């Protein structure tokens, strides 16, 4: 994992950490685990959108929630609470 830049002071101060997204990378493995958890919720859960119709935004919120929760429960990711609470806000879009 790359060293994190300092906690940003504003919405536009976030420097991105380089992530290897190539097939077989650690990211690719975690992505597959998270996607599997999200798909299981969406397709098989009685609370998922295939069993209980819902607006697209609710379904997206549900699959993201399930994926992140699954990775946290497995201990594959950690929350950087110092960075989370030390920032004044979080940008919603990536710099391209």
Across the chain, mean pLDDT equals: 90
* Long-range pairs for 13-19: beta carbons < 8 A, 24 or more residues apart: 14/90, 14/91, 16/94, 16/95
Global pTM reads 0.83
pLDDT of residue 90: 83
Judged against a pLDDT cut of 60, whether residue 96 lies above it is answered with no
Q: Are 53 and 78 in contact (CB under 8 A)?
A: no
pLDDT digits (tens, 9 = 90+) for 85-94: 988 888 877 6
């Amino acid at each position: 994992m790359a060293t994190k830049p300092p906690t940003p002071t504003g919405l536009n101060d976030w420097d991105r950490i380089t992530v290897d997204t190539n097939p077989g990378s650690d990211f690719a493995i975690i992505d597959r685990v998270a996607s599997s958890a999200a798909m299981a919720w969406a397709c098989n859960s009685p609370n998922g959108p295939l069993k209980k119709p819902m607006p697209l935004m609710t379904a997206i919120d549900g699959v993201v929630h399930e994926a992140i929760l699954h990775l946290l429960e497995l201990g594959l990711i950690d929350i950087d609470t110092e960075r989370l609470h030390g920032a004044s806000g979080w940008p919603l879009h990536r710099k391209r």
